[in-house]
Structure 1
Amino acid sequence: MKVGVLSFAHVHAAGYAALLRDMDGVEVVTSDPEAGSAPPGEVRGEVLARRLGVEHVATYQELFDQGPDAVIVAAENARHRALVELAAKHGVDVLCEKPLATTEEDGEAMVAACRDAGVRLGVAYPVRFSPAYAALRDAVRGGATGPVLTVAGANNGRLPADSRAWFTDPGLAGGGALMDHTVHIADLLDDLFGEARAEEVYAQTNNLMYEADGVAVETAGLVTVRYTNGAVATIDCSWSHPDHHPTWGGLELQLVGERATVEMDAFCQVVSGFDERQRTGVLLPWGSDLDGAMVRAFLYGTEAGEVDGDGPAVPDAVQVADGEAGLRSLRIALAGYASARSGRPVRLGDRTG
């Protein structure tokens, strides 16, 4: 199987290339023609490909000329549409980094292009494959919690501008922390609640932590989402971890049902300690490879009962988020921006405020 990685712009792109490189039976080819537009100090393009030990070609068309079976789009958010449509044009299944797009128009066009071409469109939400989420999902769907009343979620992290400056470019990223981190938890709840849908969003954002640094986008936010099943969720989507924090971020949920409260921490499988020489805290992860589970599921399908490739059996196997799911989580983020601008709750489908 041949798999292409389109662009090294995203912080996860190198990880995808390395993951594919090490998979049996997979040949990986990369292309990053916009690498020259990155600021000095960002390693991309052919230089990064050589470091990773993977093939690199100069243009996306050269990559498609090799006849890949699938591609992963890891470009800047605003450039997703063009690459997904290019994959659809060539009849190639595509896994796209999140968020799906920066506008609803682009997201809808991407979903339509793949549907019309008969190719699969997946969206990179690896936390669906967390064993912690699988246990929470099983508890809710099995009735142990009773009807869900509230969910408190937090997806925090560092300001990513030091590794990829475009994350704070409103044109390329479509926003800041709200766009970057709301969608992960929005997608988990979209999967968890089944047919129930988000119907109203209220959000507040600010840039108090990095205002003096001239960052042009919001770096902190709190998003409240009301669902058609009566549940209300809050999502802390801030870039609030300091630069020298021992880990890049995390994702946690606390869910309150009528009969039970359950909690999950998607990245708690770590050994913690302190490095006396460096005088800093240390967190050494040992847990499941969520990106690996997601990529394997996209390429080969998720067999019923498998969560992370060799994980525990569950009755209802987790699936890679499809384009429609990616579009729903994007709409929540866009409604959050409309609410933050207007200071009022926004119903989905009405973001003119």
Structure 2
Amino acid sequence: MRVAILSFAHVHAATYITLLRDRDDVDLITADPDAPPGDPDRGPALARRLGVPYTESWDEVFAQPLDAAVVTSENAHHRQLVERAAAAGAHVLCEKPLATTEADARAIIDACARAGVGLMTAYPVRFGSAFDALRRALHDGSLGRLLSVHGTNNGSNPARSRLWFGDRELAGGGAVMDHTVHIADLMDVLLDGEQAAEVYAQANSVLDADLGLDVETAGLVTIRYPGGTVAAVDCSWSHPKDHPTWGGLTLTCVGERAIVEFDAFPRLLGGFSTTVGRARWEPGGDDLDAAMLEAFLDAARTGRRPSPDGEEGLRSLRVVLAAYESLRTGQPVALPERHPSTT
């Protein structure tokens, strides 16, 4: 199966490249022609370091027969790359958020539908065995009705290594855009696609103020669902640059019968490293990126509909866009009622 990595802009690109490079069933090609010249973490320099084939232009990439493509560009550039990949007949895995506007997200979904290719949104956390256990506990009635969820998705500021994350036009926003979508997607799973009814958000740029970014670096988002469930999301870039991990994601789920704590990236072993002079963190749990890529490749190979698909990616994006409207107005924002057939 020939798979293309389209752009190295996103911080997850190198991880996806490494995982796909080491698979016997993948013929990997990569391209990052929009990379800043001489950037050691982009373009041909990164391809050489990772030992993968590199293509100099988008036209060269799309002139080749492709089975699948992974889009890891700046958020605002997702649409143009997905549309070209779909037109080339490639099934698409698109990094989250699906787009920075609802119009672009809808165009992405429609382009893949017209081309008859699958579209998957990159939400790896839902592929973990721990989250599956949480989902099953809710759906089999063990927890009773889900009353509230407190979610955290905290991490280091990605704009330190990828400046575009701090550019509102390219990223669509800051920490609220970057991190709220993951929790919104998990809520989408737990509530069987029930779409949010109301969103309220607060945010500021106190963290990393010295970087002079054009986006918020900390946020709190409250999401109310029609069935009564309320989710509160801490979506801040609050990890200092010397933190032993890039980030983490947790959920505290309060049900009628029980409270469940979920940690997507649990610490297996902790301590202090004298070599680097800081705390050490050995991760536990599943390799979520590998599980997600396996699901994507299987869907591309078999032709089945991938999940999370574009519609699921659009639902989580709508929550974030409502959060930004709330930040603009200072008021809760009601989302229009939508039925599954009119998403």
Shared fold (TM-score, shorter chain, > 0.5): yes
Q: How far apart, in 2, do the equivalents of 1:280 and 1:289 lie?
A: 24
1:310 corresponds in structure 2 to none
User: Aligned partners of 2:183 and 2:139: how far apart in 1?
Assistant: 17
Aligned to 2:311: 324
Q: CA deviation at 1:23?
A: 0.9
What are the Cα deviations for residues 228-270 of structure 1, in whole angstroms up to 9, with x where unaligned? 2210000100000111011111000000011111110000043
5 Å-filtered alignment, 1:131-150, equals: 131-150=129-148
Q: Return the alpha-carbon distance in structure 2 between the equivalents of residues 349 and 109 of structure 1.
A: 20
- Structure 1 runs (4+) deviating above 3 angstroms are none
Match of 2:88 in 1: 90
User: What SS is found at the alignment partner of 1:102?
Assistant: coil
Distance 1:111 1:195 in 2: 17
TM-score (norm 1): 0.91
Q: Counterpart of 1:26?
A: 26
C-alpha distance in 2 between matches for 1:201 and 1:286: 33
The match for 1:13 is 13
Matched residue type, 1:331: R
Equivalent position to 1:192, from 190, 193, 196: 190
Matched-pair contact (CA < 8 Å) for 2:265–2:284: no
Shift of 1:73: 0.2
Q: Structure 1: how far apart are the matches of 2:267 and 2:132?
A: 15
Give yes or no for contact 1:124–1:320 (8 Å, CA) kept in 2. no
**1:325 corresponds to which letter in structure 2?**
E
Identity %: 56
Counterpart of 1:182 (choices 180, 183, 187) is 180
Instruction: Name the counterpart of 2:152.
Output: 154
Contact residue 155 and residue 248 of structure 2 kept, 8 A: yes
Q: Counterparts of 2:201 and 2:332 in 1: how far apart (Å)? A: 8
C-alpha distance in 1, partners of 2:103/2:66?
Answer: 27
| CA offsets 1:72-105 (integer angstroms, 9 cap, x no match) | 0000000000001111211211000000000111
> How many Å separate the matches in 2 of 1:181 and 1:109?
23
Name the SS for the 2:207 alignment partner: coil
Tell me the amino acid that sits aligned with residue 175 of structure 2.
Answer: A
CA distance in 1, matches of 2:162, 2:20: 22
- Aligned residue number for residue 282 of structure 1: 280
Counterpart contact for 1:100–1:327, Cα < 8 Å: yes
- Kept in 1, the 8 Å contact 2:138–2:144? The answer is yes
Give how far 1:42 is off: 4.7
Q: 1:344 aligns with which of 324, 327, 331?
A: 331
Alignment of 1:33-182 (within 5 A): 33-36=33-36, 41-182=39-180
Q: Structure 2 counterpart of 1:55, which letter?
A: P
**Alignment length (residue pairs):** 333
CA contact (8 A) 1:114 1:121 kept: yes
Mind listing any 5+ residue stretches in structure 2 that lack a counterpart? 301-305, 338-343
The equivalent of 1:309 in structure 2 is: none
Q: Which amino acid aligns with 1:23?
A: R
Whether contact under 8 Å (2:264, 2:285) holds in the other structure is: no
Deviation, 1:158, is 0.6
Residues 277 and 58 of structure 1, relative CA distance in 2, 3 Å threshold: closer
Measured in 1, the distance between the counterparts of 2:277 and 2:41 equals: 28
Match of residue 291, structure 2, among 293, 308, 313: 293
> Which ranges in structure 1 are unaligned for 5 or more consecutive residues?
303-318
User: Once the two structures are superposed, what CA deviation does each residue of 1:85-137 show, in whole Å capped at 9, x if it has no partner?
Assistant: 11121121100000000011100111111111111110000001112211110
RMSD between aligned alpha carbons? 1.6
